[in-house]
Amino acid sequence: METDAFDFALNVILSQPKEDNLPHPVGFHSYKFFPTEINYETHDKKLLAIMDAFEEWRHILEGVQHEIIVCINPKNL
């Protein structure tokens, strides 16, 4: 799962590795921040992206038997 948060929105890409060991996207989610969320600090927006992704794909991620790795863009942390 790759997450990123910007000034006004967040995005998340859900991927899984294939035979070539490269991540292949299986889902994309974006979310426009509410006016109060726009004022959040950058690190809070990035955490919100992770939380939102787990809520969005809970029905998929609950039953996985492999480790879930979350990647964030570390800029501005």
pLDDT for res 8: 93
Split at pLDDT 50, 70, 90, the class of 71 is confident
Split at pLDDT 50, 70, 90, the class of 24 is very high
- Per cent of the chain over pLDDT 90 is 42
Integer angstrom CA distances of residue 56 from 35, 67, 72:
21, 18, 17
pLDDT at 74 over 80: no
Provide CB contacts within 8 A for 24, sequence distance 6+: 15, 16, 17, 18
Which burial class, exposed, middle or buried, applies to 48 when counting CB atoms under 10 A from its CB (0-12, 13-18, 19+)? middle
Q: Which residue's structure tokens are 């299986």?
A: 26
pLDDT at 13 over 70: yes
- How does pLDDT run across 33-46, given as a tens digit for each residue? 999 999 999 889 98
Residue closest to 33 by CA, chosen among 12, 9, 5: 9
